Amino acid sequence: MPIEIKELHIHVEVNTTPAGPAPTGRQSSAGGAKDNDIEAIIAECVEQVLQILQNKKER
């Protein structure tokens, strides 16, 4: 008898603070790069969600 999973809960915690020593003034300019990384991650997530929704419509 097959088992059907109707709900799947995933909990993820992202630590945005660096694990190494405290950042200095020289590293603060990399904050823009982190923003770009975050935007890229969000864009990829949105793309994957839209792909999943499209696949559900095809069924």
Calculate the alpha carbon distances from 9 to 5, 6, 12, 15, 48 in Å: 11, 10, 10, 20, 17
- Domain boundaries, position 42: 32-58
Is residue 8 included in any domain, yes or no? no
Is residue 21 included in any domain, yes or no? no
CA distance 15 to 40: 17
Q: Is the pTM of this model over 0.75?
A: no
pLDDT at 38 > cutoff 70: yes
CA distance 28 to 22: 11
Is residue 44 included in any domain, yes or no? yes
pLDDT at 44 > cutoff 70: yes
Average pLDDT score over residue span 6-20: 76
What total number of domains does the chain contain? 1
Is residue 26 included in any domain, yes or no? no
Give the residue, 36 or 44, on which the prediction is more confident. Answer: 44
For the chain, the first-to-last Cα distance in angstroms comes to 22
pLDDT at 27 > cutoff 60: no
Is residue 40 included in any domain, yes or no? yes
pLDDT at 23 > cutoff 60: no
